[in-house]
Amino acid sequence: MKIAVVGLGLIGGSMALVLKQKGFASKVLGVDNQEAHTQKALELGIVDEITDLNGAIANSDLIILSAPVSVCTTLLPQVLDQITHQIVLDTGSTKMSLLDAAKGHPNRGRYIATHPMWGTEFSGPEAATLDAFEGRANVICNATDSDKDALETVEKLYTLLGMYNVYMNGKDHDVHVAYVSHISHITSFALANTVLEKEREENAIFELASAGFESTVRLAKSSPAMWMPIFKQNKENVLDVLNEHITQLRKFKSCIEKENWAYLTELMENANKIKDVLDRKQ
């Protein structure tokens, strides 16, 4: 099967590498508006050929949209306008803007809305890896709106990547990812800014930073070009979880101000319950 990857970054590049290795993709066409990305993707063997969007659509059987969500929302209707038999999937971190963009289109059935739940703080084709997706969840949204053959092909694709598929509607997806992904990135960005604002001695940060600090602030190294559109697309859900997060921070602040150590302990003990939730994944 010939596939086209539109957006040669971490996710698209990693998918191309694995699908080539597994024999799912006989040829990979690459599309990206950054020449540095296209050259690096060719150099690393992520893609076999660079083309434009029209060429990718005309010469592929499956099109993966892995550019930022805001870009994919614009591209998706254009791609659906031109396809015949091809399958189109996206890898965006939010789904409703894309589902709305495809709603009512005559070729809507050829589109599968997906979200592979994996990522790192790194970006660009040089961040692509063969070890990306193993054991992770892939969310497929509004599956009943897609053609059966297209859905089965995409399910097989993600199984070959080593992922397991879960299914939900787009609205629920966008709520859930605000809580399990988007707030983590906002918190990390905010923590990094806090430290940079209050700790002017960069050497002190370097010398004293523990593994705990590094793991908490790791996501602050993520690309703003990718995350700004995500926060914008999922604004209402992000604000909801952010308000709750601010409420929790105020509780901790109040405990320390008032020296209410008993309640502070209670808050931390309650937080420990997250272990039981995360252990379910084992």
* Residue numbers in the chain where pLDDT is lower than 70: 120-122, 199-212, 278, 280-282
For residue 218, the 8-state DSSP code is G
The region, left, alpha or beta by phi > 0 then psi within -120 to 50, assigned to residue 44 is alpha
| CA gap 22, 132 in Å, rounded | 14
What pLDDT, on the 0 to 100 scale, is given for residue 243?
Answer: 94
Return the CATH number of 2-168, one of 3.30.300.10, 3.40.50.720, 3.60.15.10, 3.40.50.9100: 3.40.50.720
What pLDDT, on the 0 to 100 scale, is given for residue 130?
Answer: 83
Contact 226, 67 (CB under 8 A): no
Closest CA to 8 of 59, 57, 62, 68: 68
What pLDDT, on the 0 to 100 scale, is given for residue 164?
Answer: 95
**Pair of tokens at residue 83:** 């396809």
Tens of pLDDT, residue by residue over 118-174, are 876 667 888 888 888 999 999 999 999 999 999 999 999 999 999 999 999 999 999
What are the residues whose beta carbons fall under 8 Å from the beta carbon of 262, sequence distance 6 or more?
Answer: none
Q: Which fold has domain 173-279?
A: 6-phosphogluconate dehydrogenase C-terminal fold (1.10.3660)
pTM of the predicted structure, to 2 decimals: 0.82
For CATH 1.10.3660.10, the residue range(s) in the chain are 173-279
For CATH 3.40.50.720, the residue range(s) in the chain are 2-168
What pLDDT, on the 0 to 100 scale, is given for residue 276?
Answer: 79
Q: Which amino acid is at 11?
A: I
| CA gap 150, 242 in Å, rounded | 37
**Pair of tokens at residue 188:** 């990390």
What pLDDT, on the 0 to 100 scale, is given for residue 74?
Answer: 95
In this structure, the number of other CB atoms found within 10 A of the CB of residue 271 comes to: 11
| CA gap 3, 206 in Å, rounded | 44
Q: Considering the chain, what is the average pLDDT of its residues?
A: 90
What pLDDT, on the 0 to 100 scale, is given for residue 150?
Answer: 98
